[in-house]
Amino acid sequence: MSIATTDFGFVRGAAAVVPFAEHGERSVASKLIIAAFGFWVFLLSDVVMFSAFFATYAVLKDMTAGGPSGKDLFNISTVAIETGCLLASSFSCGMASLGARARADFMYYGGMIATALLGAAFLLLELRDFTTLIAQGAGPSRSAFLSAYFALVGCHGLHVTMGLLFLLTMMAQVYAKGYRADILRRILCFALFWHTLDIIWVGIFTVVYLMGVAR
Amino acid sequence: MSDGETGVPLYDGDIAPGDEPASGAEIAVGIRGYLIGLGLAVLATIVSFYISGTTLVWQPSIPAALIVLAIAQMGVHIVFFLHITTRPDSMNNVMALTFGVFVVFVLIVGSVWIMFHLNHNMIPMERLMQMQH
C-alpha cells in the first residue's frame, strides 16, 4: 500500500505545496515543521531537567545514612519487565504513527491501545515497587540516596502518566475529528514525547538499577 | 518527490523531528525501520542486563560497559524511533539535539567531578566531630 505525499497532511519543506498554510506563503516552513521543532526543543529542555536529577542521584547515591543501598532494595527482574513494557510500547507507538499517516484505523487505534496498556503496566509495576519500598521503611525521607532515587524515578513516572493522558486525548481527538492536519501534528508531538521517555528510561535502568546492583 | 536513488526529496526544505524521511514510502518500509530499531534496542538491553550480573568479565569494567551500551541504545532510539538523522534537511533538529547533549554532559560530568573532589578534600566527618570537642 503506497501513500502519496499530498494526502498525508504531513508535508515537509518550504517548496512543498502546503495545503494548510493560511497565508499561502511558500517561503515559510510548514506548520508541521514549526510545531514539531518547537516540541522537540521543549523535549530537549525536559531532558536537561532530567539530567539535573541524574546528576543529583549520581552525587548522592552513596549517602545512605546507614540505611539500605540500591543493592539491598532493587529487584532487577521487575526492572527487566518494566523495560520490556516501555520498549514494546515504543514500537507500538511507532505502529500507531504509521497508522495515522496512512489513515489506517485498525493500525492507529490498535497501536495506541497497545501503547496505553503497556504504559499502564509499567506504571503499575513502578507504583508497586514504590509502595513496597515505603512499606519497608525505605521511603524518600530515609536517606539522601532514597530522596534522589524517588525524585528521579518518580519524575519519569509522572511523565509517563502525563504521556498516558496525552495518548488518550489523541485517541479521542482522532475519534471525534478524524485525521485532520492539526490532529496529525499533535500525534507527531505525542510520538516524540513517548519515544523520549523511553530514552530517559534507558538512562534510569542503566545508571540507577544496573549500576546500583553491579559493584 | 524524491530522486529515487537516495530517497532524498528534491526540494531543499526541512524535515520535522520525528517525521519520517521517505516520502511516499510504503507502510512496510516504516514497519521495517521500527523493527530494526526494536531489535537493536532489545539486544542492547539484554546485553546490559546480562553483564550487570555476570562475573565473567573484570568487575571494574562493568560500569563503563553499561554506560557505553546505554549511549548506543539511546542512539538507536534517536535514529530509528525519533527519526533524527544526519540528513541535510534535518540539520536544525540535529543542532538542537547537539546543544541539548552538550548541556546534559556539562551538567552531569561537571557535578560528579566537582562533588567527587569536594568529598575527597573534605575533612572526614568523624575527625571534624573530634576537633569540635
Domain boundaries, chain B: 27-132
Q: Are B49 and A80 a contacting pair at CB < 8 A?
A: yes
Q: For position A158, what pLDDT does the model report?
A: 97
Q: Is A19 helix (H, G, I), strand (E, B) or coil?
A: coil
Question: CB of A194 within 8 A of CB of A170?
Answer: no
Question: CB of A50 within 8 A of CB of A37?
Answer: no
Q: Are A206 and B48 a contacting pair at CB < 8 A?
A: yes
Q: Are B34 and A12 a contacting pair at CB < 8 A?
A: no
Please indicate if any CB of chain B lies within 8 Å of the CB of A49: no
Please indicate if any CB of chain B lies within 8 Å of the CB of A21: no
At A122, list the grid cell. Answer: 509499567
- Nearest residue, CB atoms, B19 vs list A36, A51, A58: A36
Other CB atoms within 10 A of residue B92 CB: 17
- Which residue from A minimizes the CA distance to B60? A215
Please indicate if any CB of chain A lies within 8 Å of the CB of B106: no
Counted across chains A and B, CB pairs separated by less than 8 A come out at 185
Please indicate if any CB of chain A lies within 8 Å of the CB of B113: no
Q: For position A29, what pLDDT does the model report?
A: 75
Residue A38 phi, psi (nearest 5): -60, -45
Q: Which amino acid is at A71?
A: K
Residue B89 to chain A, least CA–CA distance (Å): 8
Q: Are B26 and A32 a contacting pair at CB < 8 A?
A: no
Residue A65, classified by CB atoms within 10 Å of its CB into exposed (0-12), middle (13-18) or buried (19+), is exposed
Please indicate if any CB of chain A lies within 8 Å of the CB of B50: no
Residues of B in Cβ contact (< 8 Å) with A47? 100, 104
Residue A58 to chain B, least CA–CA distance (Å): 7
The DSSP call for residue A8 is G
Q: For position A3, what pLDDT does the model report?
A: 38
Rounded-to-integer distance, Cα A63 and Cα A170, Å: 43
At B67, list the grid cell. Answer: 554506560
Residue corresponding to grid cell 527482574: A77
Residue among A13, A30, A190 nearest A108 (CA): A190
> Mean pLDDT by 10-residue block, N- to C-terminus, for chain A (215 residues)?
39 45 57 91 96 95 88 92 96 94 92 97 96 93 94 97 97 94 94 97 95 79
Rounded-to-integer distance, Cα A66 and Cα A55, Å: 22
Q: Please identify every stretch of chain B with a pLDDT value under 50, giving residue numbers as ranges.
A: 1-12, 22-23
Q: Above 0.90 for ipTM, yes or no? A: no
Which alpha helices (H) appear in A70-143, and where do they start and end? 70-73, 76-101, 105-135
Q: For position A200, what pLDDT does the model report?
A: 97
Residue B133 to chain A, least CA–CA distance (Å): 23
- Which residue from B minimizes the CA distance to A96? B31
Residues of B in Cβ contact (< 8 Å) with A199? 74, 77-78, 82
Domains of chain A: 39-213 (1.20.120.80)
Rounded-to-integer distance, Cα B70 and Cα B44, Å: 8
The DSSP call for residue B26 is B
Question: CB of A16 within 8 A of CB of A5?
Answer: yes
Q: For position B16, what pLDDT does the model report?
A: 80
Query: Model pTM?
Result: 0.83
Please indicate if any CB of chain B lies within 8 Å of the CB of A17: no
- Nearest residue, CB atoms, B77 vs list A55, A195, A213: A195
Please indicate if any CB of chain A lies within 8 Å of the CB of B4: no
Rounded-to-integer distance, Cα A109 and Cα A115, Å: 10
Rounded-to-integer distance, Cα A182 and Cα A179, Å: 8
At B68, list the grid cell. Answer: 557505553
Contacts of residue A184, defined as CB under 8 A and 6 or more positions apart, other chains included, come to: A8, A9, A10, A32, A100, A101
